[in-house]
C-alpha cells in the first residue's frame, strides 16, 4: 500500500515498501519545476491533487477529470505549513465518492433536460411592458 505525504521540510512524496520517492512535478516552459502546496485553493494545490491522483489512478485522463474536486477535499483541508499524509486506499475511496456524486449529478441533469421548457409568452401581462406596448410606443 502506498502512503502519500509531505510537510514544510519534506517535498510531497510516495512511500511504498519501505522506500520513498518524490511525486513528479510539472515544469514550466524553461524546464523549472513548479511548486506544490496544500491548505489553500491555489494552482499549486491543484498540482498536488493532480500528482497524487495521477500516481494513485495510473491514468492521466481520470486524474484530470477528478483533480479539482480532490483539491477541494482533501488537499485544501490540510493545514498549510503542517505535515500531511493520506493512504492510497483513502485516495481511492475519495475518488469513488467523487464518481458517485458526478453520476448522480448527471442523472439529475438528464431528468431536468426531459422536463418541458417554459413557454415564452409574447402577449405581455408580466413584469414590465408587453411586446405590443413596445411596438406601438406606449
Q: What is the pLDDT of residues 57-83, one digit of tens each?
A: 999 999 999 999 999 999 999 999 999
pLDDT at 14: 97
pLDDT at 112: 85
User: Where residue 29 falls among pLDDT bands split at 50, 70, 90?
Assistant: confident
pLDDT at 113: 83
Query: How is the chain split into domains, by residue range?
Result: 3-115
Which residue, 111, 42, 28, 92, is CA-closest to 71?
Answer: 42
User: What's the rounded mean pLDDT across residues 38-58?
Assistant: 96
pLDDT at 89: 98
| pLDDT tens-digit series, residues 81-134 | 999 999 999 999 999 999 999 999 999 988 888 887 766 555 555 555 556 555
Distance between alpha carbon 6 and the CA centroid of its chain, in Å? 20
% of the chain with per-residue pLDDT over 90:
64
Asked whether residue 138 carries a pLDDT value surpassing 60, the answer given is no
Bigger pLDDT: 100 vs 30: 100
Amino acid at each position: 500500500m502506498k502512503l502519500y505525504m509531505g510537510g514544510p521540510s519534506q517535498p510531497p512524496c510516495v512511500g511504498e515498501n519501505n522506500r520513498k520517492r518524490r511525486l513528479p512535478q510539472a515544469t514550466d516552459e524553461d524546464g523549472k519545476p513548479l511548486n506544490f502546496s496544500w491548505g489553500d485553493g491555489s494552482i499549486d494545490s491543484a498540482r498536488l491533487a493532480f500528482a497524487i491522483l495521477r500516481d494513485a489512478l495510473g491514468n492521466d485522463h481520470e486524474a484530470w477529470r477528478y483533480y479539482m474536486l480532490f483539491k477541494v477535499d482533501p488537499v485544501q483541508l490540510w493545514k498549510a505549513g503542517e505535515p500531511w499524509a493520506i493512504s492510497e486506499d483513502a485516495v481511492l475511496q475519495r475518488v469513488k465518492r467523487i464518481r458517485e456524486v458526478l453520476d448522480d449529478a448527471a442523472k439529475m441533469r438528464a431528468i431536468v433536460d426531459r422536463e418541458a421548457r417554459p413557454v415564452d409568452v409574447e402577449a405581455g401581462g408580466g413584469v414590465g411592458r408587453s411586446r405590443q406596448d413596445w411596438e406601438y410606443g406606449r
